[in-house]
């Protein structure tokens, strides 16, 4: 669970949505409910509920049947989760020698419970 400097409390599940929106937006010019559902392998109604929650928290903008756009704060949080996931996955593959599929699953679990300090120490360890 992520709590930012503005006291926004985001569950691990909502972090996954922010990460997915951020990730999709890196490769596509627009992000839609269907894109997120396919990316996460879940139903469109589930995505719609989560997007509405993120909208209420000011992390995305979205009009019915329209594109989903991260606000500046939403982008920052999404990028933060994405970077943590990427770093953890690389650590699991490169240092612990886990297979990529296992590292992917583990990184998804760990990213929600690891401190920024620990991620930075993992990064420093891998750079040396």
Instruction: Please tell me the pTM assigned to this model.
Output: 0.86
Domain 79-127 has CATH 1.10.60: yes
Percent of the chain whose predicted confidence (pLDDT) is above 70: 94
Looking at residue 65, what is its pLDDT? 87
User: Topology of 2-71 in CATH?
Assistant: Arc Repressor Mutant, subunit A (1.10.10)
Where do the DSSP E strands lie in the chain? 2-3, 9-10, 60-62, 68-70
* 65 φ/ψ sector (left φ>0, alpha ψ -120 to 50, else beta): left
pLDDT of 78 above 50 = yes
């Amino acid at each position: 669970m992520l709590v930012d400097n503005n006291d926004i409390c985001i569950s691990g599940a909502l972090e996954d949505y922010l990460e997915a929106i951020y990730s999709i937006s890196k490769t596509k010019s627009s992000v839609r409910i269907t894109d997120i559902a396919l990316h996460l392998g879940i139903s469109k109604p589930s995505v719609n509920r989560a997007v509405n929650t993120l909208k209420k928290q000011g992390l995305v903008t979205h009009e019915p049947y329209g594109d989903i756009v991260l606000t500046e704060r939403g982008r920052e949080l999404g990028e933060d989760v994405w970077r943590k996931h990427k770093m953890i996955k690389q650590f699991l593959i490169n240092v612990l020698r886990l297979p990529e599929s296992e590292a992917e699953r583990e990184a998804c679990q760990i990213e929600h419970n690891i401190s920024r300090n620990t991620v930075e120490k993992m990064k420093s360890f891998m750079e040396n």
